[in-house]
Structure 1
Amino acid sequence: MNGRVIPYDIADLTLAEQGRKRIAWAAREMPVLRLLRERFERERPLEGLRIVACVHVTTETANLAYALRAAGATPVICASNPLSTQDDVAAALVADGFHVYARRGEDAETYYRHINWALDHEPHLIIDDGADVVTTVHRDRRDVLQTVIGSTEETTTGVIRLRALARDDLLAFPAIAVNDAMTKHLFDNRYGTGQSTIDAILRATNLLLAGKTVVVAGYGWCGRGIALRARGMGAHVIVTEVDPVRALEAVMDGYRVLPMREAARVGDLFVTATGNLHVIDREHFLVMKNGAIVCNAGHFNVEINLEALAEMAVERIVHRPFVEEYVLPDGRAIVVLAEGRLVNLAVAEGHPASVMDMSFANQALACVYLAQRGRQLPADVYPVPAEIDREIAQLKLESMGIAIDRLTPEQEAYLVSWQHGT
């Protein structure tokens, strides 16, 4: 590790005790990670390894940091989103001896400075949430490649970027797509995003969803969860999609499916969850209702074309925290939540701890897998091994007091045979 390391950069160290209490509260809902932490304390599978974790600095990720340290690692933490950091959590981690670089509301320059300060620790492993650390390493910090064994990725957006690197033969080390684990995307993306996004919208606006028309852009696992929860609160849900299979699934699930240019005319609330650029654009703002609310549940703040909206507006008014109204020349107003950033983390607290329990168990076990096998793996994007996925699901069921059946030897033999028929 080089000698220029900055120990930490956070907002207010005096918030540490408040952060500790909130971290302990989250830990009550994270039994799988607790069991892994107990195992790690005995086995120390990450002994001596430095891990840069570019994550949302929340109570849940704090518990992941403690688990990684129990495994023998030195976690170094930086923020993966300028508005998602919980300053009291950052303070608690620093007070407990972690290197943390995260301030809520930091600008883009500070965000990347923090990433570079984290990389000054010369990590062996990288936990990424959006692939900003991995792309920074490949573009600007190739000096750390000599120590990196591999990385893990938490988000759909980040996995897309990693696969693009691999497709261009530029990926320099193996990466595990934690986002694609069944115990991650089926639960975190669907139930976590669904609940936390609606939670954030209600906190920001105090809006009654019953009877409103909610437009969900994208019907991946995050979009499914948002649509499900909005409908559950009495909203009329419209889905927009570019994938015909997902669009058909949305129809079969009972939603109305429209192109965005048509949905824009009738929606009261718009939520993007596509991972793509300018899903809501100038042409849509031109036809939206007066008072339409737009927000984003995708990783980066590019899904809503706010530059175009700002150019169109004659006035901007902040009515409540993270609620900004853009007034157009014809008098119509369009309301943007959380500056177009991840609304569930900017306005609320992100996913419930019980669902992040599985996601971060995947992260912890993926790190152990890379520590043990990463040096032998060619540079590529890999799935979470199926045995890890099953282990996490089993541990979660056990923590919930739920038992399931097991195959008998006769059933196991039947499932792998070809002799049996009608």
Structure 2
Amino acid sequence: MPSLAGEEFFLPSMPGKFKDKSHTLHRQFHRCFASTSTMFLWALFLVVLTASYLSFQSFVDSSSKYLSSAWGGIQWEKQVRASAHIHRQNGFSVLVTGAAGFVGAHVSLALKKRGDGIVGLDNFNNYYDPTLKKARQSLLNSHNIFIVEGDVNDERMLAKLFDIVAFTHVMHLAAQAGVRYAMENPNSYVHSNIAGLVTLLEACKNANPQPAIVWASSSSVYGLNEKVPFSESDRTDQPASLYAATKKAGEEITHTYNHIYGLSITGLRFFTVYGPWGRPDMAYFSFTRNILQGKPVTVYRGKNRVNLARDFTYIDDIVKGCVASLDTAKKSTGSGGKKRSPAQYRIFNLGNKSPVTVPMMVGILEKHLKKRAKKSIVEMPGNGDVPYTHANISSAQTELGYKPTTDLQTGLKKFVRWQDLCLFSVNSLCLGYSLYLLSFLYRPA
């Protein structure tokens, strides 16, 4: 229909029947807005109406956000109980914190597959793109593992979980990770790694029966210690980063709760974990991106031009160590916060006992990606990184039966193959991870 303007809009369909209505309209508008006071009232009415709408919209948005993240309710409790259901004789019911994280997702799957009951907990923070955690969550959901979205500092939520499920074990993997990020957001490390740990320990202390606890410390606690390989009996009082300091504090705190309240506690010092579904802030992940994009790979060197080296440990080996720690953990000896007898307290290194230099790692990636890297060699800045990590794993071998079997050559090959599988798979479980990889690896410079 053609567009008409002005008075043509009022033209009748029959000639001779037209009556000009413009003067009538002008008189009506004049009556409404003749006085200044009337105009003021109209303006005030419009302001109030707009403000009311915006307030209502804000209320709706806030309510929706609250309701979507709220825990509790009959349906929520059903999901928790169903996920915690044990499917094997003498199986465990395990609360896994950080379940949507790299190690947490793998450990949860391993436990579920053998018949243990698993309830996950994760706050889905934005330290790295939450899309990756949501993809892991979808993977866990497909195996009937329910992840509660919440913060480990939420005392009421933890109390509710322990009220619903009599957890036999807690696998505490939730933490603020990363050495360098502590320089940008130090409070997040105190909130998660210290306050969150204490809140969880309080919930475990008050539970009846008390669960046995396995938690993730870090090889970073060895800090500036130059004696290698690192042994559990070595000094750990010279942290090189805030992250390391919070993990060292965690070891002291857990020892206190073990001593006073009879909690059975096992601490695991992880050494540079890598593999499929890994964290994008890790070197192997960012190096893969830069090599594919043709961008320089920054390789740090320590004092006297010494190459940095890491005891890279493949995720499957770490999972075996975590599961073995649960299997060998003795029961807590307290009840309702009261200690009856001494309880088990252990710390183990989980590494690969064969450090590899960073340039060697880059060379392995070049081989599997079939593309040369542009290397930028720079001196290591004072950001908390240490030049060398090397695990003495004899204690873990003796007490846990821990035997890493995947070297870096094989592990990175598996990582690259998994990445390619997800990028080109039509499997819905890989969709979220595929989208993340595509955006991460191939985003424009």
TM-score, length-scaled by structure 2: 0.39
If you compute each CA radius of gyration, which structure gives the higher value, 1 or 2? 2
TM-score scaled by structure 1?
A: 0.41
